[in-house]
Structure 1
């Protein structure tokens, strides 16, 4: 069977019953996706010839436009789909590497910063993530917080009560333990061809990919303005302050805004929602590119605010962090 992908003009062979998203990923087709479970609507595409079997439709799909979620679509016969045309295609070789834990830090009660050495190089674009297996049979997606030339790879892991993987990280993981890391994954990576100003918005552990993107821009000697907004629930959830302060001191074209949603704020932090801070600071964001990472409600709210400020939707690169159900192991 053949799957034809427009506007790329690619033809992919598949076996009947294959998942559409898995098929596209194996062929290194640059399609955005996040939760892989039909909730975020990120992997929507259009069937323009033939048909697929679908488990659920895109949350905001027009019933007349044949839009489907790739993660919820099964290929049964020859078909042609149309994906959103990417503005900059970057494909790294998919690899599986072994990581050895070098350090584990707990900057706040529900976050662990895990750094690992790798047995071989893992190339990735700033903002991408990898699938990490700490516990046999269970993988979780975590964004890289650094760049691929760093000596160690770094992940920021939120500890979820009752979460098999995250509680293993919090209570059992130790230096010297190993993990299986596969990737890179994700299309919310730094667009290097754009040379205009950038606004990065992170919620919670969404700071990891935002740090990766910010460092990559600044450490390349780029002098364009970078505005980083970091939104957290309370002062007790703020982490990475020293890292952000050090980067800001090195690069005057970076401005950082830490925004506290509830309770008092201190240390120059701002009170309120991160969307309110953006709304207050900007009249227009025309000409910007934006990278948004965090919980789905935060990502949706920020996206809407950015669009209202004149930033076109196709220039907002978002990665919504969905909690993975522990009852269902992720595919290897």
Structure 2
């Protein structure tokens, strides 16, 4: 049996029943991966023709159809097929880790957002924009995006407190400096593409600013000079945070422009008012050739994705990992 890998134009032999990711790795085909268990999403690719079988939490031994997005680690090859691997020049492979971290800082960023800093027992490699799962107790587990870049000392998360939220209520009332937190990851595909040199738009809602800060900090470390526009949408003035970080990043990234958009703000005030996607729509007639990083509530990410595609941004160049509110 044969599997054709696009856009590499390579054909690989396989035996029916083999795992796609293993076939790719055994043949030195570049592909991003991390957890190997279908959770991180980094080995995402597309079936262009042929027959494969997928498995995982959402699917169980289900056939994939042409054009379907699949995870290579959860895909079994059963017949001749064509598989497309996107962005072969932007591969990340950070082996998944489970670390016992320690809370070293809890700080109020706004009336309902806390900055949580965790010390690391050893290095935790990830790409800017990725996220991890934090287990505060066996009953309190939730994914959060890193707000910093990878280093050997600590990681940082911004957590918005949700009324009656199971996990965030624990963070608000019981989490304390010195406690242990189990960290697992990295996860996610909305990581910084460092080889791209064109214009970038980042759209963040609320604590979606955290992964965008990580991406911008990653750009500084990589000495990227791209024109960047960040649109930071919040509900009200009291929800704004992180402006001093954005100012520091603007000094390091001269081509960075930050737009703060307040949904219930006063017209004529310091910041723009209205819906964050409306601000993007008003500023740009065409965004063909741009790359986009989106972070925030699923409804915002979906609306921004639709808008950006209308503006000419290629679907494969819109990067987002939307978090759902279940169990917050």
Q: TM-score surpassing 0.5? A: yes
1:148/1:301 CA distance change after superposition, 3 Å: same
Between the aligned partners of 1:179 and 1:10, the Cα distance in structure 2 is 43
Provide the residue aligned with 1:61 in structure 2.
none
Q: Is the 8 A contact 1:56 1:69 kept in 2?
A: no
Between the aligned partners of 1:148 and 1:308, the Cα distance in structure 2 is 34
Between the aligned partners of 1:161 and 1:172, the Cα distance in structure 2 is 15
Task: Compute the displacement of 1:29 (Å).
Answer: 5.7
Gaps of 5+ in 2: 25-29
Task: Compute the displacement of 1:282 (Å).
Answer: 1.5
Between the aligned partners of 2:87 and 2:141, the Cα distance in structure 1 is 28
Provide the residue aligned with 1:93 in structure 2.
95
Task: Compute the displacement of 1:69 (Å).
Answer: 6.7
Gaps of 5+ in 1: 58-63, 327-332
Provide the residue aligned with 1:108 in structure 2.
110
Task: Compute the displacement of 1:163 (Å).
Answer: 2.4
Match of 1:282 among 281, 284, 302: 284
Task: Compute the displacement of 1:235 (Å).
Answer: 1.2
Aligned residues: 309
1:15/1:276 CA distance change after superposition, 3 Å: same
Task: Compute the displacement of 1:287 (Å).
Answer: 2.7
Q: Is the 8 A contact 1:283 1:309 kept in 2?
A: yes
Between the aligned partners of 2:121 and 2:142, the Cα distance in structure 1 is 20
Provide the residue aligned with 2:27 in structure 1.
none
Provide the residue aligned with 1:60 in structure 2.
none
> Which deviates further from its counterpart, 272-281 or 305-314?
305-314
Task: Compute the displacement of 1:110 (Å).
Answer: 2.5
Match of 1:218 among 213, 217, 220: 220
Provide the residue aligned with 1:183 in structure 2.
185
2:265 counterpart of 1:233? no
Task: Compute the displacement of 1:139 (Å).
Answer: 2.6
Between the aligned partners of 1:12 and 1:209, the Cα distance in structure 2 is 39
| 1:22-41 matches, cutoff 5 A | 30=32
| 1:225-264 matches, cutoff 5 A | 225-264=227-266
Task: Compute the displacement of 1:51 (Å).
Answer: 5.7
Between the aligned partners of 1:12 and 1:232, the Cα distance in structure 2 is 51
Q: Is the 8 A contact 1:32 1:186 kept in 2?
A: no
1:164/1:282 CA distance change after superposition, 3 Å: same
